């Protein structure tokens, strides 16, 4: 069985002005052994990428962006390119988040262009998929996830898939305080892995890392990470606090040998 390194990412969304971002980075526990066992990504707003990236340099923590345009440059007012993100030291970029899909009308085709561009620039996409509450109630969870994956990953090879992180984020659980149970999340993520295996081959399907996102907190993270197919978490509100996010990171140690390893 492929051993997958746990990955925990904090998505700050549209929070923290520059001095708040600097304070967060200064307070975050650095030079920790845990960062050699669990991959940790912090995704600030565009305005704070440079200062946070500077603070994280050489610590083992990774810098990620929350979005990008697929073009390298051009007349795209208000957009940020993959070249710009790479220049700032980003290793990761979140793509296809439900807020981009539903609030800003981003299509699977456009997200697919972003994924391909990110890979060209050696940025690791964290590709988000997930269903709305209405779709869940209609029994369409698997159908929706399969369609989003098919469209967003079109034209990619199995080898390219292994360089992508998938984040399953049920829309109804994002920022609502209502989270999918660990069992529900595992069921959907198991389906996602099976779907990807069917599309890209068993080796790629087993190797790709799949996170859960949606009201993850220090007191529930271990229940998610105990599940076989859940490899990490994409954390929203609980990632805005240093203490909270570091506790969530420590909870990921449960993936590395059982409950006794969790701090």
Q: Count CB neighbours of 102 within 10 A.
A: 11
- What's the rounded Cα separation, in Å, for the pair 249 and 251? 5
Residue carrying the six token digits 């998505």: 11
Residue carrying the six token digits 């610590």: 59
Given the residues 99, 106, 169, 223, select the one marked as catalytic.
Answer: 169
DSSP string, 184-244: HHHHHHHHHHHHHHHHH-HHHHHHSEEEEESS--TTTHHHHHTSTT--EEEESGGGSSHHH
Given the residues 39, 69, 97, 99, select the one marked as catalytic.
Answer: 97
Which residue from 240, 45, 15, 9 is spatially nearest to 124, judged by alpha carbons? Answer: 9
- Decide if 15 is catalytic: no
Residue 8: half-sphere exposure toward Cβ, Cα within 13 Å: 29
- Decide if 203 is catalytic: no
124 - beta bridge partners? 92
Distance separating the N- and C-terminal Cα atoms of the chain: 26
Cβ atoms of 207 and 231 closer than 8 Å = no
> For residue 206, what are its two tokens?
């087993």
> For residue 57, what are its two tokens?
């340099």
Which amino acids are annotated catalytic?
97, 169
């Amino acid at each position: 069985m492929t051993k997958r390194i746990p990955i925990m990412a904090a998505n700050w969304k549209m929070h923290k002005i520059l001095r708040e971002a600097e304070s967060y980075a200064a307070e975050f526990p650095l030079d920790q052994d845990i960062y050699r066992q669990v991959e940790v990504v912090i995704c600030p707003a565009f305005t704070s990428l440079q200062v946070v990236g500077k603070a994280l340099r050489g610590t083992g923590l990774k810098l990620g962006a929350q979005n990008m345009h697929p073009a390298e440059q051009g007349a795209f007012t208000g957009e940020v390119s993959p070249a710009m993100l790479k220049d700032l030291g980003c290793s990761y970029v979140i793509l296809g988040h439900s807020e981009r899909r539903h609030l800003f009308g981003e299509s699977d085709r456009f997200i697919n262009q972003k994924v391909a561009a990110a890979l060209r620039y050696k940025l690791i996409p964290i590709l988000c998929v997930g269903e709305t509450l209405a779709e869940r109630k209609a029994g369409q969870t698997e159908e929706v996830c399969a369609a989003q994956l098919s469209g967003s990953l079109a034209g990619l090879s199995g080898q390219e898939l292994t360089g992508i992180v998938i984040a399953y984020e049920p829309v109804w659980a994002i920022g609502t305080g209502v989270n999918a149970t660990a069992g529900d999340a595992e069921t959907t993520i198991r389906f996602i892995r099976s779907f990807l295996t069917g599309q890209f081959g068993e080796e790629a399907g087993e190797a790709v890392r799949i996170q859960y996102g949606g009201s993850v907190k220090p007191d529930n993270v271990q229940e998610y990470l105990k599940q076989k197919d859940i490899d990490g978490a994409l954390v929203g509100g609980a990632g805005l606090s240093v203490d909270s996010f570091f506790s969530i990171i420590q909870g990921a140690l449960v993936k590395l040998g059982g409950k006794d390893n969790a701090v």
